Structure 1
Amino acid sequence: MSLDHAASKPHEALAVLLRDDMDAVNTLIEARMASKHAPRIPEVTAHLVGAGGKRLRPMLTLAAAKLCGYDGPYHVHLAATVEFIHTATLLHDDVVDESEQRRGRPTANLLWDNKSSVLVGDYLFSRSFQLMTETNNIDVLRILSNASATIAEGEVLQLTAATDLSTNEDIYLQVVRGKTAALFSAATEVGGVIADANADHVKALFDYGDALGIAFQIADDLLDYQGDSAQTGKNVGDDFRERKLTLPVIKAVAQATDEERSFWERTIEKGRQQDGDLDHALSLMDKYNTLSATRDDAMQWAEKAKSAVKKLPEHEIRGLLSGIADYVVARLN
């Protein structure tokens, strides 16, 4: 989900502050996504990388390292690693979701095929592990390899949880921590680790990334039902049509009458949707104020991210990280 349309853009100020480091990251990404023997790899990767995006995750790695006083070269490797993991998951997600558009452009699986998307995603995962080993830091390897496993686990959990009405808020949070927050928290944590920050600061960076990622995903899920399609790049109700149980629906199902639960079983579990079902789903969410409750949850997670930031050393970056936490939920106002 683009963050372009919020009133202020702290990530842009962060990008200016980190411009030289981000240029180095982009140069490294371009070099490492090359393939001597398989030209399809840079073709597919360049298509997705060239589609834009704010590179928020690698910027968070650079920001964490800089905030903690790092002056070595390996924060660039770690930022590129994070971006490769993120890009690989996008390639795989588009195949799983049978997506046809990302960031306003046709997806790689549509332009090429599913096999190419999956295999190029695998290549990028492999490249990410090559990059992280170059730091010679076992803690970095542990954090990023664990994050990769958690991301995959979260995606598999979502396959079954997304259309199962027994999915509750705890399971939803587990999915979100896997598919989104795990990479945010790893991105910030490794920045502190490579800078040899003290344990309290590393923990604060992890907590910040975790809460930020959860707030980010909850906001995305809410905007699916009340966002502006021109700004979000998604049609209102896409998650409903794709039978994805996200937080606004989970909250409505938890309070549903027998008749309402039958509606959710037909539309979500069985996928037998018909004209007017989206409007009825929205009316049920309105009845139980689940959109407002979901917004409150996103705001609470943003506040948790800001609380974690307060435990970090005094630095101009600290204010920008706090601003980003506000920013990811500003889309909901």
Structure 2
Amino acid sequence: MAVALPFDPAADVAAEPSIEGIVTLVRADMERVNALILSRTGSDVTMIPEVAQHLISSGGKRLRPMLTLATAALTAYEGDGAVKLAASVEFMHTATLLHDDVVDDSEMRRGKLAARMLWGNEASVLVGDFLLGQAFRMMIEVGNMRALDILSTAAVVIAEGEVAQLAAAKNIATDEDAYLAVIRGKTAELFAAACEVGPVLAGRPEAEQAACRAYGMNLGIAFQLVDDALDYGGSKAALGKNVGDDFREGKITLPIVLAVRRGDEEERAFWRRCLEDGAIGEGDLERAMALLDRHGALAETVERARAYGEAAKQAIAGFPAGPARAALIDVVDFCISRVR
């Protein structure tokens, strides 16, 4: 059963939202980032580049490193440090994906078999650790202690967010505050850090650093909210994984929080059986999607994503108009438009 994720037609724009603006803006530097990524995944231990390249070359948009380069451009940074920090951000992201797939027993990632399915859990975890080590080496090479502090703190917060998600998993009593704390940590923190280090390298005032961080944090929350909605109302092609994986893994996301709160006791018993007990039978995913639709949980999740997207745009409204600011605004619209 498909669940529609309706949009307000008045909110539509003439052109389809795209990240082409940011791709064009940072193209030259991203070529250097990609070359650096290739060189830093090299190792005499053959399995390391095999596992790393399986995921790195699997078609991800590399949005987070592009955000680092775009916010550096927004704040008029000139230098090589942003390239190394952008590569560090991508390595941090890739490491978390390798680790997440092990924790979640995921079979698919970006439309391909997850690395753990090909090389095993142990190799996925250890190669993720290798990438984190390489990320920190590049941060140190840049030599900016504030940027190092931001990204190393992000690594800690991301790990805390993942553990918090484990604690909240399969607990239908999880409320919105607990859910938002999880996604701020596990997803939005890296977006925020990726955007903050650009103006830090540029030596911009703290207000500008905070503005870029706020942009990234709000964008990251919006991004995750859209992902959570897509898991029930999207397509396998859009997700790069199987529709309903969050349901099967017992993840408590905002659509579930809303549906549980608005449902009756019989419905809560259904969620308890499926998510807490893991007793999922034939037709349960379809029933789950019908309940989410009945209570407007998916539509409201998308509306929340739009609100965070608007907050992201407002955060950078004080910067001069130009290609960098326009590209960053387009990124917000693109991330929200994935639910179309």
TM-score, length basis structure 1: 0.94
Q: How many residues align?
A: 327
Q: Give the aligned partner of residue 39 of structure 2.
A: 31
Give the Cα separation in 2 of the matches to 1:170 and 1:178. 12
SS of residue in 2 equivalent to 1:120: helix
Give the Cα separation in 2 of the matches to 1:39 and 1:236. 33
Give the Cα separation in 1 of the matches to 2:260 and 2:101. 27
Question: Please, which runs of 5 or more residues in structure 2 have no aligned partner?
Answer: 1-12
Where does 1:184-203 land on structure 2 (aligned, <5 Å)? 184-203=191-210
- Does structure 1 residue 249 correspond to structure 2 residue 236? no
Q: Give the aligned partner of residue 305 of structure 1.
A: 312
- Does structure 1 residue 22 correspond to structure 2 residue 6? no
Give the Cα separation in 2 of the matches to 1:235 and 1:42. 26
- Does structure 1 residue 97 correspond to structure 2 residue 104? yes
SS of residue in 2 equivalent to 1:35: coil
Native 8 Å contact 2:192 2:216 kept in 1? yes
Question: What fraction of aligned residue pairs are identical, expressed as a percent?
Answer: 51
SS of residue in 2 equivalent to 1:134: helix
SS of residue in 1 equivalent to 2:226: helix
Q: Give the aligned partner of residue 282 of structure 1.
A: 289
Cα displacement (A) at 1:9: 4.9
Q: Give the aligned partner of residue 244 of structure 2.
A: 237
Q: Give the aligned partner of residue 16 of structure 2.
A: 8
Native 8 Å contact 1:214 1:301 kept in 2? yes
Q: Give the aligned partner of residue 88 of structure 2.
A: 81
Give the Cα separation in 1 of the matches to 2:69 and 2:149. 19
Give the Cα separation in 2 of the matches to 1:125 and 1:280. 40
Where does 1:1-333 land on structure 2 (aligned, <5 Å)? 8-36=16-44, 38-333=45-340
Give the Cα separation in 2 of the matches to 1:135 and 1:228. 41
Give the Cα separation in 2 of the matches to 1:96 and 1:53. 20
Give the Cα separation in 2 of the matches to 1:166 and 1:33. 42
Native 8 Å contact 2:108 2:241 kept in 1? no
Which piece of structure 1 moves more, 272-281 or 319-328? 272-281
Give the Cα separation in 2 of the matches to 1:287 and 1:314. 42
Q: Aligned partner of 2:293: which letter?
A: D
Give the Cα separation in 1 of the matches to 2:235 and 2:126. 34
Q: Aligned partner of 1:34: which letter?
A: G
Change (3 A) 1:230 1:145: closer
**1:88-115 CA distances to partner (integer Å, 9 max, x unpaired)?**
1111111111112211211111111111
Native 8 Å contact 2:25 2:323 kept in 1? no
SS of residue in 1 equivalent to 2:24: helix
Which piece of structure 1 moves more, 46-55 or 281-290? 281-290
**1:197-248 CA distances to partner (integer Å, 9 max, x unpaired)?**
1111111100000000000000011011111334333333222122111111
**1:278-302 CA distances to partner (integer Å, 9 max, x unpaired)?**
2222232222211111111111011
Cα displacement (A) at 1:183: 0.5
Over aligned residue pairs, what C-alpha RMSD do you find? 1.5
Give the Cα separation in 1 of the matches to 2:86 and 2:26. 12
Q: Give the aligned partner of residue 7 of structure 2.
A: none
Change (3 A) 1:235 1:124: closer
SS of residue in 2 equivalent to 1:144: helix
Give the Cα separation in 1 of the matches to 2:187 and 2:53. 22
**1:235-283 CA distances to partner (integer Å, 9 max, x unpaired)?**
3322212211111111011122222211111111111111222222223
Question: Please, which runs of 5 or more residues in structure 1 have no aligned partner?
Answer: 1-5
TM-score, length basis structure 2: 0.93
SS of residue in 2 equivalent to 1:188: helix
Native 8 Å contact 1:204 1:312 kept in 2? no
Give the Cα separation in 1 of the matches to 2:191 and 2:143. 22
Q: Aligned partner of 2:96: which letter?
A: T
Cα displacement (A) at 1:14: 1.5
Give the Cα separation in 2 of the matches to 1:234 and 1:121. 20
Q: Aligned partner of 2:37: which letter?
A: I
Give the Cα separation in 2 of the matches to 1:80 and 1:233. 23
Give the Cα separation in 2 of the matches to 1:323 and 1:84. 24
Which piece of structure 1 moves more, 322-331 or 214-223? 322-331
Native 8 Å contact 2:17 2:333 kept in 1? no
